[in-house]
Structure 1
Amino acid sequence: MANDDVIAILGYFTITMKSITFNDAVSKSLRKKVTSNKNADQAIGYLIGQLGKSDDYTEYISGQELVKNCIELIYELFDKLGGRFVLIECENHPSFIGFYERFDFKVIQEDVYVQLYRAL
């Protein structure tokens, strides 16, 4: 990365809004935590849709730094637009779930993927 003519992409993430529909297994208390309405069938939140880093530059950024940068940007959006939570969807694998739990994400439900949320 010493060459000023080269732009290296160390990592990337995408943020969008997503509506989720709660399945029957989601308790009323969890629905209330996420939406403030225990009878809610749906919720809209920020979705971290893509998250990845380049294998060529692993020494320059960690997955933890990438998630922290993403969450910082979401808090900037939250200050301007509001919202209640951040959502991540991942494969049902203990290492993926454990990685996101380190950032205070909690499993909300399993659909095609496991959906985890973090309150704002």
Structure 2
Amino acid sequence: MCNKKTISLNELIENLGIEETQRFLTFFQCSRNPDVEKFLVQKAIRFEQASAASTHLILNENGQILAYYALSFKEIRIEASKTLWKKLSGGLGAGNILKVFLIGQIAKNEAISNNPINLSTILDDIYQQIYLAKRSVGGRVIVLECEDHPNLISHYQKHGFQLLQTVEDENQLKTMFIVPAFK
């Protein structure tokens, strides 16, 4: 893996200002999923300013965006067995509403030829950020919502994510979860 640095969008805005940051973000491309490109270029700054999500950019040694992800939190209503509920809640009573860390966006920049970053590296970075939040406010479960494509689901499953049945799976998205063993 190449040398990389992660910077929060907030930090980038503080250093460059909003207009220059907006221009910088336009160098990100993701033709496989235009929604993640659109989020970064058109919505991420507003979400950051509203404290609705925290976006992080993974940059190479030249300062180019290799990948990005956006984190937030969410309350989800799940349909789970007692055993699964115990695993997800850490053994705290019965229920069906769970507060989780949400990976709202995750994407690799196609504009970088031979982009060396992979999902494992991005997830490691995400887990570092979530670990810091976990130490401050608690929490244990990380979820992401993805399109119902077998290859995509399989890709996340290879990285430890499992499908989770939620009461209101929105927009035909599948909810997947992981309870990472933070070190």
* Alignment TM-score, normalising by the size of structure 1: 0.81
User: What are the superposed Cα offsets for residues 48-104 of structure 1, whole Å, 9 maximum, x if unpaired?
Assistant: 000011102242322321122112211122122211210111112221112212222
- Aligned counterpart for 1:49 among listed residues 75, 83, 104: 104
2:67 to 8, 11, 14: 11
The verdict on how the C-alpha distance between 1:32 and 1:38 changes in structure 2, with shifts beyond 3 A counting, is farther
Are the aligned partners of 1:106 and 1:118 in contact in 2 as well (CA < 8 Å)?
yes
Structure with a larger share of its residues in helix: 2
Report whether the alignment pairs 1:118 with 2:174. Answer: no
Number of residue equivalences: 113
Q: Distance in 2 between matches of 1:69 and 1:8?
A: 17
- 8 Å contact 1:19–1:43 — kept in the other structure? yes
Identity %, equivalent residues? 27
Gaps of 5+ in 1: 1-5
TM-score, reference length from structure 2:
0.56
Is the contact made by 1:13 and 1:50 (CA closer than 8 Å) also made in structure 2? yes
C-alpha distance in structure 2 between counterparts of 1:10 and 1:52, whole Å: 9
Structure 1 runs, 4 residues or longer, greater than 4 Å off: none
Secondary structure of 1:56's aligned partner: coil
User: Could you tell me how far apart the structure 1 residues matched to 2:126 and 2:84 are?
Assistant: 24
Q: Which amino acid aligns with 1:99?
A: H
Query: Once superposed, what is the RMSD of the aligned Cα atoms?
Result: 1.9
Q: Where does 1:1-120 land on structure 2 (aligned, <5 Å)? A: 7-23=63-79, 26-35=80-89, 36-37=91-92, 39-57=94-112, 58-109=114-165, 111=169, 112-120=172-180
Which structure ranks higher in relative contact order (CA pairs < 8 Å, sequence separation ≥ 6)? 1
Read off the aligned partner of 1:118 and give its amino acid letter: I
